[in-house]
Amino acid sequence: MTERTAETGRRCLAVVLAAGLGSRMKSAHPKVLHNLAGRSMLAHVLATLAEAGVDDVVVVIGPDHESMPREIAAISPHARIAIQHERLGTAHAVLAARDSLAQGYDDLLVVFADTPLIRAETFLAMRSALAEMNIAALVLGFEAQEPSGYGRLLMDGDRLIAIREERDANDEERAVTFCNGGLMALAGDRALPLLEKIGKANEQGEYYLTDIVAVARAEGQDIGVLMVPEEEVMGVNDRIQLARAENVLQRRLRDQAMRAGVTLIDPDSVTLSFDTRFGRDVVIDPFVIFGPGVSIGESVRIKGFSHLEQTEVGPRAIIGPFARLRPGAELEGDVHIGNFVEVKNAKVKAGAKINHLTYIGDADIGAGTNIGAGTITCNYDGFGKFRTEIGAGAFIGSHTALVAPVKIGDGAYVGTGSVITQDVSEDALALARGRQVEKPGWAKTFRDKHIK
């Protein structure tokens, strides 16, 4: 059953157009599945619709998009899918969702999956304007710094007269900088009749959604315009535009983090993910990368050139520099992870220190334990993964190899340079290395033999 949003009290359907081939991306993958800040452009659009309270969604895809249903189901499980079997223009794509359009919605949002920077507030504003103005449709417009390539919005005062594609515009119309943002809101009871009257008498022989303006005006119906910032309706058609969109999204995420109490020493050098979460008083040094699924507690310091993904970091921890926290790393409070340390699928209890040149994988590290430089958990035998368990207050000497599965008891010591293959008891000292042997004079004899 369709939800009524608290903001408008009106039933709304969003049709997300995602059937384009995206040939300019030069990719084997659908254009809208390319990532921005750790998730696909399509996922960004679907998530923004959900944030705006739009629960009824139809995604229009092409017949050759086998990977799209999985992405849609992961982000918006209740979204329906419509297939545009022939790519005959944007109005034709909207009509691929004809069955849903006919269900009697108050508002229809037409959204493009390759326009990922649109905000939830804009969707709400579009719906509010559509209701207040009692119009057939609302178009998003923006003032373009460089209008070349965009359709122009031709106005008569506050009234939209036409959307003129650049190739069809005369010189006077090309001088217009007020441009079409692409997205539209349509009155639900008028949408289907208007869409069905759009023809294809144009150079491309396609049904253009923009022609709905002329169709509505011919019937005496008005079209409204809502102005938004240019970057919000930035479309992505190639890798260059993808990079530009990433820059915009990263700036938004950094600003959001800093407003929430995070210090970014050099914001432009830090890369965030769409879901990065920070506590207060976190300090991030330059050149830190956050992949998806990272949660950082209060008063954490993350030093430069560190990389984190699918990781939880407890309060007051110190990470880096040059640290790598991989999926499944869970760090409690006051943990120290130092330079060139990698942690994967491991739980590190409060106050433990792993400060230098170490790999900890598939492990449990007890509270207050110290892991010496060059320690390795040998967790993989070429076929399976095995776990290392180290108790609280243990001390692992430098250059130690812990061959899993193995357990080190609370308070145990492991001597430097050991290869540990058996469990170590609580409070015991374990040494597993060859006895040192010295042969007097051997080095001089060896040199004399080889140096003439």
Within a domain: 75? yes
Q: Is residue 6's pLDDT more than 90?
A: no
Statement to judge: residues 76 and 189 lie in one domain: yes
Contact 48, 55 (CB under 8 A): no
pLDDT at 1: 33
Q: At what angle do helices 68-75 and 41-51 cross, to 10 degrees?
A: 30
Q: Is residue 297's pLDDT more than 60?
A: yes
Statement to judge: residues 287 and 198 lie in one domain: no
For residue 405, whether the previous peptide bond is cis, meaning omega lies within 30 degrees of 0, is yes
- pLDDT over 90 for what percent of the chain? 87
Q: What is the CATH number of the domain that holds 410?
A: 2.160.10.10
Domain boundary among 233, 260, 282: 233
Q: Which domain holds residue 221?
A: 12-233
Angle at 391 between CA 387 and CA 396, to 5 degrees: 85
Q: Provide the annotated active-site residues.
A: 356
What domain count does the chain have?
2
Supply φ then ψ for residue 178, to 5 degrees: -85, 115
Statement to judge: residues 337 and 411 lie in one domain: yes
Q: At what angle do helices 120-133 and 41-51 cross, to 10 degrees?
A: 50
Residue 241 CB neighbours (<10 A): 15
Statement to judge: residues 107 and 170 lie in one domain: yes
pTM to 2 decimals? 0.91
End-to-end Cα, the chain, rounded Å: 93
In this structure, what token pair is assigned to residue 125? Answer: 């504003």
Residue range 322-339, pLDDT digits in tens: 999 999 999 999 999 999
Statement to judge: residues 178 and 297 lie in one domain: no
Where are the extended beta strands (E) located within 349-437? 353-365, 370-371, 376-378, 388-390, 395-396, 401-403, 406-408, 413-414, 419-420, 429-430
Q: What is the CATH number of the domain that holds 48?
A: 3.90.550.10
CA distance 348 to 115: 41
Residue 404 CB neighbours (<10 A): 21
pLDDT at 4: 41
In this structure, what token pair is assigned to residue 101? Answer: 């359009």
For 247-251, which contacts have Cβ atoms below 8 Å and span 24 or more sequence positions? Answer: 248/117, 249/36, 249/37, 249/116, 249/117, 249/274, 250/37
pLDDT at 205: 86
Residue range 142-179, pLDDT digits in tens: 999 899 889 999 998 878 989 988 888 899 999 999 99
Q: What share of the chain is helix, strand, coil (3-state, %, to 5)?
A: 25, 30, 45
Statement to judge: residues 158 and 264 lie in one domain: no
In this structure, what token pair is assigned to residue 332? Answer: 């409690």
pLDDT (mean) for 91-115: 96
Statement to judge: residues 218 and 269 lie in one domain: no
| Alpha-carbon dihedral sign for residues 350, 356, 360, 363 | negative
What amino acid occupies position 226? Answer: L
Within a domain: 299? yes
Residue 400 vs residues 252, 412, 432: alpha-carbon distances, Å: 44, 14, 9
CA distance 78 to 58: 9
Select from 399, 333, 326, 336 the least CA-distant residue to 363: 326
Residue range 420-431, pLDDT digits in tens: 999 999 999 999
Contact 23, 238 (CB under 8 A): no
What's the chain's average pLDDT?
A: 94
Domain boundary among 194, 216, 233: 233
Identify the band that residue 9 occupies on the pLDDT scale cut at 50, 70 and 90.
confident
Within a domain: 435? no
Domain boundary among 203, 233, 263: 233
- Which SS3 state, helix, strand or coil, does residue 14 take? strand
pLDDT at 7: 47
Residue range 242-271, pLDDT digits in tens: 999 999 999 999 999 999 999 999 999 999
Among 163-177, 277-291, 391-405, 411-425, which is the least confidently predicted range? 163-177
